[in-house]
Amino acid sequence: MHLGGLRTALFNYLFAKKHNGSFILRIEDTDRTRLVEGSAQNLDDCLAWAGIPYDEGPKRPLPDTPSYVQSERLNIYKEHAKVLLDSGAAYHCFCTAERLEAQRALSKNKGPVQLYDRSCLKLTREEVERRLQRGDSHTVRLRIPHERAHTKFTDIVKGNVQFLNQQIDDQILMKSDGFPTYHLASVVDDHLMRISHVIRGEEWLNSTPKHIILYEAFGWKPPHFAHVPLLLNSDKSKLSKRQGDVSVDSYINKGYLPQALVNFVALLGWSPSDTTKEVFTLDELIESIKEKLSKSLEGNVIIDDQYLKRAIHCVKERIHVIDDCVSLLRPFFMSADFSTEQAKAMRQKVWHGDRSVNNVKVIMEELSSIDGSSDNFTAENIYQSFQRACQIIHPDSQTDKERTTKTNQLMSQLRYLLNGSPSGGGVPLTIEILGKDKALVRLTEALALAHQAQ
């Protein structure tokens, strides 16, 4: 399932629920050349993950519906194709692939619209019967009524739409392999499954007059159609798997929350008239983050909800996907583990050997002077202790700007020691959350590791 399909499913689901209707999942697998093993299950899984449950479908069938998988409904389509043939709304076509290709090549010189030349429509009934009995390979085509100038319909999104019948191709309805095309199968199924509204991508707009003609041929009332704009790349080309991550799976694997992706696709091509919910509370995120984090921590680490909430609050501005939580929240539960690359990066960016060691020791002395109670060991008081340490380390800093710059440089060294990387939340708040004793132990351990890594 790709992003465009998820958005279409979401729009159908929301529309159905608004009108107390049913959202139906149907597996349209009649194009056997494009069949991908497991794709139907993937659709089911992605909808479940995104929180867009269907009311009717393969796993939730109604008693009077034999199947929601089109490849299991072939007899139904064959029966309806015969109805069209008997009424003259469709005809048998015995043209080979080679003849059709040659005819298309010739028609290119006659204009941009390449239509079937209807040679098989001229066959007599006797010749058709003779070729059928002989077992000649054939298809069934829709006969577009050229005796009428236009086919018109009203689209919920596009408004009034009309097509010249002379420019509509005699669409193949049944292929030579005995499977229907999308056009016949979707029309028959929409009628039998009592579909009232079809919301789909606008690439199907040009096919809709063929569907309207089919409904008329069967004597059925067509559903209401809504063709929504396609999702596009930044260069206005159609969103394609060849140009980046467009599958829902890729976002699931990267740790995106379903609420975030659903919000994202809902706002592609649509915006609410008032406001829409885009921000979620920590309580809604907590369980998902806890599960991700507890798989990533070594040993039996007990994760306290309130402690985790405070840690998330500290790093939330840097969290883009759930996987970011692992690296950003890990320092709140485990000491930094300095690899050779991390130590090298620290030395290049912020570490200056013994001088940096002495700086950190001064900071630790200032931290030790703060009362460890929750009322006093606060981010604000911790930052003030950094400023005092800065005055000791850099007594020549005269202006507030100079002192702030020097203090920030000291905090960059502390962040590496606490996190093992330059990334993380605010250092004063990180130390407040760790608590006085844990923070001092963490810095002592980190100094030893940093020294060994040199």
> Are residues 401 and 293 part of one domain?
no
To 5 degrees, how large is the angle CA 179–CA 185–CA 189?
140
> Are residues 311 and 355 part of one domain?
no
Mapped onto helix, strand or coil, the DSSP state of residue 394 is: coil
> Are residues 369 and 287 part of one domain?
no
Tell me whether residue 82 is in a domain.
no
pTM of this structure: 0.71
Backbone angles phi, psi at 155, to 5 degrees: -95, 135
Tell me whether residue 405 is in a domain.
yes
> Are residues 393 and 291 part of one domain?
no
Domain that holds residue 438: 336-454
The whole-number pLDDT of residue 454 equals 54
End-of-domain residue from the set 315, 334, 353: 334
End-of-domain residue from the set 296, 316, 334: 334
> Are residues 454 and 343 part of one domain?
yes
Tell me if residue 241 is catalytic.
yes
The whole-number pLDDT of residue 208 equals 97
Give dist(CA 182, CA 68) in Å, integer.
14
The whole-number pLDDT of residue 349 equals 62
Tell me whether residue 404 is in a domain.
yes
Catalytic residue of the set 17, 59, 152, 241: 241
The whole-number pLDDT of residue 199 equals 94
> Are residues 314 and 362 part of one domain?
no
The whole-number pLDDT of residue 350 equals 62
Tell me whether residue 129 is in a domain.
no
> Are residues 441 and 385 part of one domain?
yes
Give me the torsion for CA of 391, 393, 397, 400, rounded to 10°.
-40
End-of-domain residue from the set 312, 334, 356: 334
Mapped onto helix, strand or coil, the DSSP state of residue 398 is: coil
Give dist(CA 42, CA 33) in Å, integer.
18
Name the domain count of the chain: 2
> Are residues 347 and 325 part of one domain?
no
Give dist(CA 21, CA 166) in Å, integer.
38
> Are residues 325 and 372 part of one domain?
no
Tell me whether residue 295 is in a domain.
yes
> Are residues 408 and 320 part of one domain?
no
> Are residues 446 and 344 part of one domain?
yes
> What are the strands, taking DSSP E only, across 145-246?
150-155, 159-164, 172-174, 197-201, 224-228
Tell me whether residue 450 is in a domain.
yes
Give dist(CA 360, CA 68) in Å, integer.
67
Tell me whether residue 365 is in a domain.
yes
DSSP bridge partners of 269 = none
Give dist(CA 153, CA 150) in Å, integer.
10
Backbone angles phi, psi at 121, to 5 degrees: -70, -20
Tokens for 265, please give them: 């696709």
CATH number, domain of 432, equals 1.10.10.350
- pLDDT tens track, the chain, 454 positions: 889 899 999 889 988 888 889 999 999 999 988 888 899 999 999 999 998 899 999 999 998 888 999 999 999 999 999 999 999 999 999 999 999 998 888 877 666 678 999 999 999 999 999 999 999 999 999 999 999 999 999 999 999 999 999 999 999 999 999 999 999 999 999 999 999 999 999 999 999 999 999 999 999 999 999 999 888 777 767 776 555 568 899 899 888 888 888 878 877 776 655 555 555 555 655 666 666 666 766 555 677 888 888 998 899 888 887 778 888 888 888 776 655 555 666 666 666 777 878 888 999 999 999 998 988 999 999 999 998 998 898 888 778 888 888 888 888 888 888 887 778 889 999 999 999 999 999 888 877 766 665 5
Tell me whether residue 361 is in a domain.
yes
Give dist(CA 41, CA 29) in Å, integer.
12
> Are residues 321 and 342 part of one domain?
no
